[in-house]
A = this chain, B = another copy of it.
Amino acid sequence: MQAEILSVGTELLLGEITDTNAQYISARLRDIGVFVYRRETLGDNRARLTEAFREALGRASLVIATGGLGPTDDDITAECLAASLGLSLEFHEGAWEDMLEWFRIRGREPSASDRKQAMIIRGGIPFANKAGTAPGQAIITGGKVACVLPGPPREMVPMFEEHLLPLIRSTFTDLIPLHIKNLRLVGLPESKVGEALRDLMDSPNPTVAPYAGQGQIRIRIAARSEDSSEAGKLVSAVEAEVRKRLGDYIYGEDGDTLESVIGEILSRRGLSLAVAESVTGGLVAHRLTNVPGSSRYFKMGMVAYSPAIKATCLGVPEEAVRKDEGVNRETAASMAAGVRALSGAKIGVATTGFAGPTGGTEREPVGTVFVAVSDDDGTEVERYVYGGSRTAIKEYGAGRALYVLWRRLSKSNRKRRDQAEGVDR
């Protein structure tokens, strides 16, 4: 079962926009057991696009095109698909009604050119567009499926999920979907993860693959089996093995983020948090407050960029603020303790360092980041030196602060769990 994707639009060929659709569709098809073996990007050119549809339908069982469905003259994708099949486009009352409803809800009037969008290939199936006016459409012909979807991702994605995927599943009934589990790790470099999982990564089924980004690693475990419960078992067995080897670094699964997991722990235990940032400049607070409901546990953030603010607002001792311009262990520790006291939060987190590109001292070069976490059990401080741009150092530093916080929370989690279960480690 093979598929091809056509991305249509001169603006793509001019490099004006990024094509995220092709990657999205590739990944989703892979999950359900369809392999995309060719993708093509073409401009709004009648002859080339019609020929591309004809060639693709000659090779593949499933051809998906995105883009070029709008009301203007250069939107020709549906027309070219029809031409490649020797079929005509016909005005479709149902598609037009859906479109009128879209305009009605928004209190707008369709223009004369909008009618064009309701032209559907004879025998084709219109797909309603929830986020825009242009419907998509699909046609089943000779056991093959050809389909055109809108270009804007916020229109394409829901239409793909709600209309096209079910159609593919019902047309190609022997697809064997992948069973997938993602484990999310933090605190280990990619090379260490690779070393720890080398033998598992050589396995063809389930496949195990690490993906690194922004100081974190996602381990994707994917199995395929005609028996879906068998696939689930294969994944579970490998997951258990990965957890045995790297469990201390696994903070979550699938859609989790470090900040969402931290939020869950804090909520569950009724703890509150405050943050004092220097080098990360507000990014730690920004990430923590991206989580819905974070106002329940996040009390305050302080971006203490100047030495005077560190001293007066957070009570960092003058000599600590002066030493290496406040980039040192004591400053980090008293920032964390200070913001905790100021806000009345149970836990305080702090960062200080040099993000560059210029600055730093002999002892503490650009890229140095101190991270501190303070709670009733005391204060811990760690020092790291990162490379890269100013924004990269801020990203790494913020990621590290969240990691140290999560590690401390999950340590005390484990301690509490052990006590509750009578375990003595």
Interface of A with B (CB < 8 Å)? Answer: 12-20, 22-30, 35-43, 45, 48, 209, 211, 275, 277, 280-286, 288-290, 292-295, 298-306, 308-309, 313, 342-344, 355-358, 390-391, 394
Report whether over half of chain A's contact residues are helix, strand or loop; otherwise say mixed: mixed
| Contact in complex: A24, B15 (CB < 8 Å) | yes
Top 10 closest pairs, chain A to chain B, by CB = A15-B27, A281-B289, A301-B303, A282-B285, A15-B26, A282-B282, A39-B41, A282-B286, A285-B303, A300-B309
A268–B100 CA distance with the chains assembled, in angstroms = 55
CB A175 to nearest CB in B, in angstroms, measures 16
Shortest Cβ distance from A178 into chain B, in angstroms? 10
Known A282-B282, A302-B302, A309-B343: A26·B13 in contact at CB below 8 Å: yes
Q: Which residue of B lies closest to A301 (CB)?
A: B303
Whether the Cβ atoms of B13 and A37 lie closer than 8 Å is: yes
Q: Are B16 and A36 in contact (CB under 8 A)?
A: no
- Which residues on B sit within 8 Å (CB–CB) of A394? 286, 289-290
Whether B290 contacts A390 by the Cβ 8 Å rule is yes
Q: A300 to B295, Cβ gap below 8 A?
A: no
Task: List, in ascending order, chain B residues with CB within 8 A of A282's CB.
Answer: 277, 282-286, 288-289, 301, 303
27 pairs of residues in contact across A and B, judged by CB atoms under 8 Å: A12-B39, A13-B35, A13-B38, A15-B30, A19-B22, A19-B23, A37-B48, A38-B41, A39-B40, A40-B41, A281-B285, A281-B286, A281-B288, A281-B294, A282-B283, A285-B285, A285-B303, A286-B286, A289-B303, A289-B305, A293-B358, A294-B305, A298-B303, A300-B305, A300-B309, A301-B301, A308-B344
Cα A299 to Cα B312 with chains together (Å): 12
